[in-house]
Amino acid sequence: MFSKQAMTISQQIDQLKTRGLSISNEALAAAYLSNISYYRLGEYWYVMQSDKENHIFKSNSNFTDVVALYNFDAKLRILLFEVIEKIEISLRTKLIYHLSHEIDPWWFQNFTLFTDSLALVKTLGNLEEELSRSKDVTIKNHKKKHKDDLRFPPAWKSLEQTSFGALSKLYSNLKPTVKSKDTIAKELGAVNHTYLPSWLQSIAQIRNFCAHHSRLWNRNLPGAPKLLSKPPNLWITESINVPKQHEFKRLYVHMCLMKYLLNVIQPNNDFTQQLDGLFSTYPNVDPDALGMKINWQQEPLWQ
């Protein structure tokens, strides 16, 4: 039976010091712990422990290093969220444009276009909730003006209200016979529809980590995106050798996919400079915890 009791901030500091974490400024540590929970910060000092069973820290472990890791991770999430935003808007635009022209503006509720009907029911149910909660003037006016039309508002209105995850699921669920599925993949440099779904799934998961302020540093990520053997655009030289399964657990391969897509969407982006600058600002952060390759900045993809 779980028996631990809640500790005061001063008790938290005493416990950390007893376990071997150096805290030179207790007032500053108290300020951090009053705004960032002990449990959340614990995700960053965990690797500093030599005895993880008894939570004993390695020698020279310092609270300031914990804070640096936390701040690095927070800024990394902000950077990736901005990158993913551009990918999300591009995907949304392409889905709306190509499918509304190929089929009609209500293609997203046409069950004959999708492989998994149950998945589409769930997606549409979530979309209906989003629209019912929406305060957007466009949606309100549409419902008022077309109250006898029982369909969703057209794609260019409805799909502006939904999440990246839902867009990813709509795209992935489209039947291969839908021409726009390949068109969108080609426009994003993914060659055809067999590759893009796993990329989008990967990015959607990372977006959720960013949105919920969850740790990305030193995190094992689920899934393994399907990589192109001969990408039409600049890629990493390691593509000659298929990445091993354990490499997909780290963030680097997933960031490479983001960079690949971003280079198509916004060719003159500064993702490389911002990411490199982040590592320069926090030199004590181990790039290997993200799976970064040595001299990654020199890769064709990142130049």
Query: Under a CB-based contact definition with an 8 Å cutoff, are residues 257 and 199 in contact?
Result: yes
Cβ pair 13, 30 in contact under 8 A: yes
Q: What confidence score (pLDDT) does residue 148 get?
A: 84
Quick check: 205 and 230 in contact, CB under 8 A?
A: no
Under the banding of pLDDT at 50, 70 and 90, the label for residue 241 is very low
Q: Any idea what the Cα angle at residue 140 is, between residues 135 and 142, rounded to 5°? A: 145
Residue 122: partners with Cβ closer than 8 Å, 6 or more residues away? none
Q: Are 299 and 293 in contact (CB under 8 A)?
A: yes
In this structure, the answer to whether residues 232 and 273 fall within a common structural domain is yes
Same domain, 165 and 103: yes
Residues 276 and 171 in one domain: yes
Are 61 and 136 within one domain? Answer: no
3-class DSSP string for 5-70: CCCCHHHHHHHHHHCCCECCCHHHHHHHHCCCCHHHHHHHHHHHEEECCCCEECCCCEHHHHHHHH
Q: Which range in 133-147, 184-198, 222-236, 283-297 is most confidently predicted, on average pLDDT?
A: 184-198
Residues 41 and 109 in one domain: no
Q: In which region does residue 189 sit, left (phi positive, over 0), alpha (psi from -120 to 50) or beta (all else)?
A: left
Full residue range of the structural domain in which residue 81 is found: 70-302
- Mean confidence (pLDDT) of the chain: 94
- What is the pLDDT, as a whole number, of residue 232? 94
Residue type, 72: F
Whole-number Å distance between alpha carbons of 168 and 175: 14
With pLDDT > 70 as the criterion, what percentage of the chain qualifies?
97
- Which of 81-85, 247-251, 294-298 shows the lowest mean pLDDT across its residues? 247-251
180 in any annotated domain? yes
Looking at the fold, whether 45 and 158 belong to one and the same domain comes out as no
User: Do 30 and 112 belong to one domain?
Assistant: no
Average pLDDT value for residue range 276-298: 94
| 1 in any annotated domain | no
- Tell me which residue of 182, 218, 224 sits closest to 205, measured CA to CA: 224
Interval 111-136: pLDDT, tens: 999 999 999 999 999 999 999 998 88
Domain assignment present for 4: no
Per the CB < 8 A criterion, the answer to whether 164 and 97 are in contact is no
Q: What percent of the chain is predicted at pLDDT more than 90?
A: 85
Question: Is 8 a domain residue?
Answer: no
pTM of the shown model: 0.93
Give the list of residues 6+ apart from residue 234 with CB closer than 8 angstroms, or none.
Answer: 260, 263, 300, 301, 303
The residues, any chain, with a CB within 8 Å of residue 272's CB and separated by 6 or more, are 259, 297, 302, 303
Whether the per-residue pLDDT at 243 is higher than 70: the answer is no
Mean pLDDT of 126-150: 90
Could you report the per-residue pLDDT of 12-56, keeping only the tens digit for each?
999 999 999 999 999 999 999 999 999 999 999 999 999 999 999
How many domains, the chain?
Answer: 2
Please name the helix (run of DSSP H) or strand (run of DSSP E) that holds residue 198, with its range, or none: helix 196-211
First-to-last C-alpha distance (Å) of the chain: 54
Same domain, 60 and 184: no
Q: Which of 36, 68, 100 is the last residue of a domain?
A: 68
b/e per residue 255-273 (b: at least 16 CB within 10 A): bbbbbbbbbebeeeeebbe
Please check whether residue 292 lies inside any domain of the structure: yes
Side-chain half-sphere exposure of 50, counting CA atoms within 13 A = 9
**Are 52 and 81 in a shared domain?**
no
